[in-house]
């Protein structure tokens, strides 16, 4: 029997050839490539998955975009926490009702976590997960899923906890802007506030409020990198922080600008005086 290369199997659109490779029962790179090839017949993918092996070929068969939904359902209803089940739970064609079944088992395992990350996971099931009030890996994943209902993200953040679930909720692009504003108006320098300040949907006027506090903290620093940050607020903040740092250094060294100039010879003073004058004008002392 002919031996095929990975390249040949990757590029083929011949179902018979893919069937031939997979029916050998090998767990090698050629077989894995065949299992992931979109031209692989669904009935052959079924044969692979019904062997019940937790191997790379089965995993790639479960990730094949043409793997039948009913077959993914079979895999997940075995109730195993293995790599094949995880892959089935992540397949975009996995039926939403089966993802719901997985999450309603209430387990904090890798299959449940993967189901919670599936972009087709039903919003009402993600809401159920988050309303359990746990800070576990499944809840953390549910909080960052773009399908998570905005009102549930708001519920999470209004608990006012500095946990990973809350941090992920603040980072979710569908988190309501008014809730991000609430978080930042608490004036805490914590990870949840930092994520709220980095969220691209954070209102510009709230980012400006953060910078007007003129604090040299992590939340303000994060706000400066948000593309929504108003340019004028950013410019004013950077001037303030730069001046504060210069003043702190000079105080530490017990120096004034006059002292610095006095250390220089006349030629150096002639060069440095206009530079210092320019700096002072720019920072509006």
* Tens-digit pLDDT profile for residues 128-139: 999 999 999 999
* 261 found inside a domain: yes
* 279 found inside a domain: yes
* Tens-digit pLDDT profile for residues 9-24: 999 999 999 999 999 9
For residue 285, name the pLDDT band (cuts at 50, 70, 90).
very low
* 250 found inside a domain: no
* 275 found inside a domain: yes
Contact 231, 223 (CB under 8 A): no
* 259 found inside a domain: yes
Contact 132, 162 (CB under 8 A): no
* 28 found inside a domain: no
Q: Give the chain's domain count.
A: 1
* 280 found inside a domain: yes
Q: Which residues lie closer than 8 Å to 164 by C-beta, 6 or more apart?
A: 135, 140
List the domain range (segments joined by +) for residue 275: 255-285
Confidence (pLDDT) at 4:
86
Contact 105, 81 (CB under 8 A): no
In this model, does residue 182 exceed pLDDT 60?
yes
């Amino acid at each position: 029997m002919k031996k095929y290369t990975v390249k040949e199997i990757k590029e083929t659109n011949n179902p018979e050839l893919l069937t031939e490779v997979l029916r050998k029962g090998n767990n090698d790179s050629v077989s894995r490539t065949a299992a992931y090839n979109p031209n692989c017949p669904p009935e052959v993918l079924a044969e692979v998955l019904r062997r019940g092996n937790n191997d790379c070929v089965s995993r790639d068969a479960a990730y094949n975009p043409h793997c039948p939904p009913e077959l993914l359902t079979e895999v997940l209803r075995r109730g195993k926490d293995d790599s094949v089940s995880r892959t089935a739970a992540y397949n975009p064609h996995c039926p939403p009702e089966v993802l719901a079944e997985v999450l309603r088992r209430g387990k904090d395992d890798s299959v449940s976590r993967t189901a919670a990350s599936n972009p087709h996971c039903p919003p009402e099931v993600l809401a159920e997960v988050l309303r359990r009030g746990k800070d576990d890996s499944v809840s953390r994943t549910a909080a960052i899923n773009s399908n998570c209902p905005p009102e549930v993200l708001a519920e999470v953040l209004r608990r006012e906890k500095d946990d990973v679930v809350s941090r992920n909720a603040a980072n979710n692009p569908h988190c309501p802007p008014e809730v991000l504003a609430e978080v930042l108006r608490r004036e805490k320098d914590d990870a949840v506030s930092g994520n709220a300040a980095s969220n691209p949907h954070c209102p510009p006027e709230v980012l400006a409020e953060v910078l007007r506090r003129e604090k040299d903290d992590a939340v303000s620093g994060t706000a400066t990198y948000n593309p929504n940050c108003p340019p004028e607020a950013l410019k004013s903040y950077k001037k303030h922080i730069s001046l504060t740092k210069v003043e702190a250094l000079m105080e530490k060294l017990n120096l004034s600008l006059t002292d610095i100039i006095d250390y220089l010879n006349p030629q150096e003073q002639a060069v440095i005086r206009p530079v210092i004058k320019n700096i002072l004008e720019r920072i509006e002392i």
